[in-house]
Amino acid sequence: LRCRRRLSLRSGLTKLMRRKCSIALLSPTPWSTCARCFLHEHVLVCSRREAKRFADLTADETTDLWLTAQKVGKQLESYHKGSSTTFAIQDGPEAGQTVPHVHIHVLPRKAGDFEKNDEIYDAIEVKEKELQQKLDLDKERKDRSLEEMNQEADQYRSLFL
């Protein structure tokens, strides 16, 4: 719970949906400033219990995490009129995990949103580093306003009712 609270409150992440073992969060930082990219925000699906690595999850937590990601992905893809979804998880520091808490990035996609499809993984790495910096309260950050985040979260929350 301590880590979940830190992720959702201190870093400015806004809760979209809570399930038995997982939670979906909207990040306050824009996903991409690229003109081709239609998606400006991304959603993180996290385990509610603090678990540093994917293998640390129980079978119930693993199932709930992926079922939550599936629901979030389906709804976001439809909402953004996408044609595909990228689900990304970095499991350990050498895999690019900068926040020591299991989480899945959920990104609805459209043709041409990245010039080369694999560029999305570079973008995810940048977002991971930004999220890690947000956990350090002494760093400067340029988040969207609370009003902007609440409006976006309200739109997304309605997808998961």
* pLDDT confidence bin for 151, thresholds 50/70/90: confident
For residue 23, is it within any domain? yes
- ∠ CA(87), CA(69), CA(56), 5° rounding? 85
Contacts of 17 (CB under 8 A, 6+ apart): 23, 24, 68, 71, 72, 157, 160
Q: How many H-runs (helices) and E-runs (strands) does the chain carry?
A: 4, 5
What does the alpha-carbon distance between residue 89 and residue 65 come to, in Å, rounded to a whole number? 11
Are 88 and 105 contacting, i.e. CB atoms less than 8 angstroms apart?
A: yes
In a domain, 143, yes or no: no
pLDDT tens digits, residue range 17-55?
Answer: 888 999 998 765 554 443 344 445 678 899 999 999 999
Q: Which of these, 147, 148, 121, 101, lies nearest to 7 by C-alpha position?
A: 101
Number of domains within the chain: 1
Percent of the chain residues topping a pLDDT of 70: 73
Catalytic positions: 103
For the entire predicted model, the pTM comes to 0.69
User: Is 136 within a domain?
Assistant: no
Question: Residue 152 class from Cβ within 10 Å (0-12 exposed, 13-18 middle, 19+ buried)?
Answer: middle
pLDDT at 125: 77
Domain presence at residue 78: yes
Range of the domain at 61: 18-87+102-115+148-160
Residue in this structure with the two tokens 């937590």, named with its chain if needed: 61
Token pair in block for residue 56: 């640390």
Between 134 and 3, where is the model more confident?
134
Give yes or no for residue 143 having a pLDDT over 70.
no
Phi and psi, residue 87, nearest 5°: -110, 120
**Choice between 11 and 54, residue whose per-residue pLDDT is larger:** 54
Alpha helix positions (H), the chain: 2-5, 59-79, 119-134, 146-157
> What digits encode the pLDDT tens for the residues 65-99?
999 999 999 998 998 888 989 898 989 989 888 88
What value does the mean pLDDT take over residues 123-146? 64
pLDDT at 11: 47
Tell whether the model's pLDDT for residue 145 goes beyond 70: yes
pLDDT tops 50 at residue 138 = no
Average pLDDT over residues 112-119: 80
Q: What contacts 133, CB < 8 A, 6 or more positions away?
A: 139, 141
Tokens for 74?
């389906």
CATH assignment of the domain containing 76: 3.30.428.10
Q: Residue 63 pLDDT > 90, yes or no?
A: yes
- Tell whether 111 is covered by a domain: yes
